[in-house]
Structure 1
Amino acid sequence: MTDWTHARSERLRLDRPVAGDLADLHRIHADPDSWTHFPQGRHVDLARTQQTLDRSDVEWGRGLGYWCARESDGGPVVGMAGCAVVDDAPWWNLYYRFDSSVRGRGYALEAALRALDAAHDVDPDRPVMAYLLEVNVASRRTAEKAGMSLVWSGPDAGNDDPDAVRLVYLDREPDDAIRTALDDRFRVDPTV
């Protein structure tokens, strides 16, 4: 198994977050532009971003977590992306969020592809899931271009928008155990 704490893609440096990344991560996660499709997820205070950073240690303790993404020439953190096991789920969660100043450059796809490589290396039997809102077309395109397939859709329980629909993409066809876990996690019948 490869050590994935530091990885590279064509245009990105991907590194395990450290305490010094807090301000950059907060800037990205506090930006309302980053949460257009899910405003309630926005980090309104530094403590929320610190929790994300603290959780990173737990995730990396399982072999893999979300990276801080920088452009290959260095500089500030421009995004957070990668795969992590969240809440002991039986799948990797694929995550990508980038600063609005660099969106549209394909960085999310570049990081997602590298994250899939890492997840398949660390635990190839654990599927990779992308969990996103139906209205977030850019995120859907990223998941689809990364080779993931839609396996579940339904109401987004707990969302402030009662009409919100969640989509779940996986990197493989779900087996019965994963289908049951999806049904249990989202507490609605799959429509796909």
Structure 2
Amino acid sequence: MDLASLTTERLVLTAVSQDDLADLHALHADPRVWRHLPSGVHTSAQQTSDEITMYAADWERDALGYWTARRRDGGDLVGIGGVRLKPTATWNLYYRVSADHHGQGYAGELVEAAMQAAATVAPDAPVVAYLLEHNEASRRTAERAGLTQVWRGPDRDVPGGVRLVYADRDLPTATLAALH
């Protein structure tokens, strides 16, 4: 099964590629999509391009990774997301939706496709969402996807931040330690 191009009820999901650079840079440079992590704003197209290169390598290595999500009716960029296999042998669940499309259920639609794809490619690998506690929308999306909180503690990247780890199953202590 080729997971590099899928459709959902409202989205066309395609494996992230450099062809998406302009749209993905505009998304990642928009401070509205980083209000919970302002330091994440991309300040150059090269920064976005470097991430796309890394994400494209995931597809080559694991036959799954992050997708660019566009509306089926018109092709407007909705966001980026999916799963990528981490060295911890867990799928990292990621979703970033453009501010113009917040609150319309697109993240949930993207997450549902990602969860199904992860179960198809490597069902023994847990799906994990790593998010900041104050990001209520991200937490609700993870919970609606059936993930439960398995860890809460200080964030190693955000001074004073509290990180939550959600997973689709219990995680071994060693895996949890590697995640935070």
After TM superposition, the structure 1 stretch with the greater mean CA deviation from structure 2, 74-83 or 21-30, is 74-83
- Identical aligned pairs, as a percentage? 46
Q: Is 1:180 paired with 2:174?
A: yes
Q: CA deviation at 1:90?
A: 1.3
* The one of 141, 165, 176 aligned to 2:162: 165
User: What CA deviation, in whole Å up to 9, does each residue of 1:75-123 have, x standing for no partner?
Assistant: 232200100113x221000000011001110000110011000000000
User: What CA deviation, in whole Å up to 9, does each residue of 1:16-70 have, x standing for no partner?
Assistant: 1222210000011110011101111111111110011101121112121000000
1:27-176 equivalences in 2 (<5 Å): 27-61=26-60, 62-86=62-86, 88-159=87-158, 162-174=159-171, 176=172
Contact 1:21 1:77 in 2 (8 A): no
- Equivalent residues, number: 179
Ranges in structure 2 where 5+ consecutive residues have no aligned partner = none
SS of residue matched to 1:78: strand
> TM-score w.r.t. structure 1 length?
0.90
Paired with 1:42 and 1:12, the residues of 2 have a C-alpha distance of 25
Paired with 2:85 and 2:40, the residues of 1 have a C-alpha distance of 19
Cα root mean square deviation, aligned: 1.1
Aligned to 2:22: 23
Contact 1:85 1:92 in 2 (8 A): yes
Paired with 1:82 and 1:68, the residues of 2 have a C-alpha distance of 9
User: What CA deviation, in whole Å up to 9, does each residue of 1:128-154 have, x standing for no partner?
Assistant: 000000000000000000000000111
Paired with 2:89 and 2:39, the residues of 1 have a C-alpha distance of 26
Ranges in structure 1 where 5+ consecutive residues have no aligned partner = 187-192
